[in-house]
A and B are shown apart, each in its own frame.
Chain A
């Protein structure tokens, strides 16, 4: 599955997660697997409290981090792809 720039995603509701000193740990209730997100990943996860697309996330992130829009968008797409592959996010 490849992420589309304008498709909205939300957190998989079958996950429990917790902030740990700015990083995020999560566990899938379905398969018992554990996952971890670094600080930037955790910020994106926070934003995913409401449905977001790669495009809307990029708009928010370039206001917080000093990063060119194009770089940011491609990084976000790559990150969302990983989340979607692992079923940590699902289409909204």
Chain B
């Protein structure tokens, strides 16, 4: 049995999760990860997909020939790996989509983005898969900005109405073509599994312990027709949709009965936080984008 803390949650896990740092002392958990049989089908599912079956309180996630997970009420994750499953791959899904679903069930607003620290506040880069969230975070980390989050950015609304980014999994995941980053982090980059082209860079030595206020959100939009790079301010309906569409696995929320609370969270967030869209030609070097972003931030 291993005890960890991440996303502000005390986690008790049957599976060792070195991505979360050193195990801590035994505590009453907010979320348990248990190795036990998981059914093939969720009987009361409102959505039956290839990988996901969803009911309002439970989500069954099936990775063919690797593992099945059942996530219940944001409190329990059951995992049943196949006998010959690669455990690194089991962890990769567990600490990605599976825990992402649990965070939704817990009622956080989970943005699909990566985050770095600036003046004790979080700057989030959101975008669809392949839009360059992790690589731009990597480029800014190389410039000296501390790492905060990668892929999952769960936000909690405080009573004041302000949004805070929860302390997240201290690992940046990079594709093998993210060359400047991978060269820089070469010593610490570890291939995440034998079947993916992703590498992980660990930041467990400097784990962020406290939630941090969200200062601003950038939406990354690769645009081959764009000459170089352009940053535009979003407002109104467009701002709302940008935040909605960059919610982690947004289409699943409908079946989890979460769209109403999500609407309220997104409209509240939009009133508190500035959102900009970074429209960039994907061919321009990531460091050029990172330079443009730092100049832009310094002028705010």
| Cβ B237 vs Cβ A16 within 8 A | no
Instruction: Tell whether A29 pairs with B260 under 8 Å between CB atoms, given A20-B267, A20-B270, A34-B244.
Output: yes
* Bound-state Cα–Cα, A18 to B263, Å: 9
The residue from B236, B244, B264 contacting A22, defined by CB atoms under 8 A apart = B236
A25 to B266, CA, bound (A): 11
Report whether A16 and B235 are in contact in the complex, using a CB–CB cutoff of 8 Å: no
Q: Which residues 1-30 in A have Cβ within 8 Å of B in the complex? A: 16, 18, 20-25, 27, 29
Q: Give the interface size bracket for A toward B.
A: 10 to 19
Q: Is the interface of A mostly helix, strand, loop or mixed?
A: strand
B241: chain A residues within 8 A (beta carbon): 34
Cα of A27 to Cα of B236 in the assembled complex, Å = 15
Provide the residues of chain A in CB contact with B145, threshold 8 Å: none
Q: Which residue of B lies closest to A37 (CB)?
A: B237
B133 contacts partner chain A, Cβ-Cβ < 8 Å = no
In this assembly, does B239 line the interface, its C-beta being within 8 Å of a C-beta of chain A?
A: yes
The CA of A16 and the CA of B268, in the complex, are separated in Å by 13
- The interface residues of chain B lying within 8 Å CB-to-CB of A68 are none
B254 on the interface (CB 8 Å rule)? yes
The verdict on A25 contacting B267 (CB below 8 Å), with A20-B240, A32-B259 known, is yes
Residues of B within 8 A of A24 (CB): 237
A23, B236: Cα distance in complex, Å: 5
Residues of A with C-beta under 8 A to B264: 16, 18
Shortest Cβ distance from B113 into chain A, in angstroms?
20
Chain B residue numbers with a CB within 8 Å of A51 are none
Taking CB atoms, residues of chain A closer than 8 Å to B267 are 18, 20, 25
Residues of A within 8 A of B (CB): 16, 18, 20-25, 27, 29, 32, 34, 36
User: Which chain B residues have a beta carbon within 8 Å of chain A's beta carbons?
Assistant: 235-237, 239-241, 244, 254, 259-260, 263-264, 267, 270-271
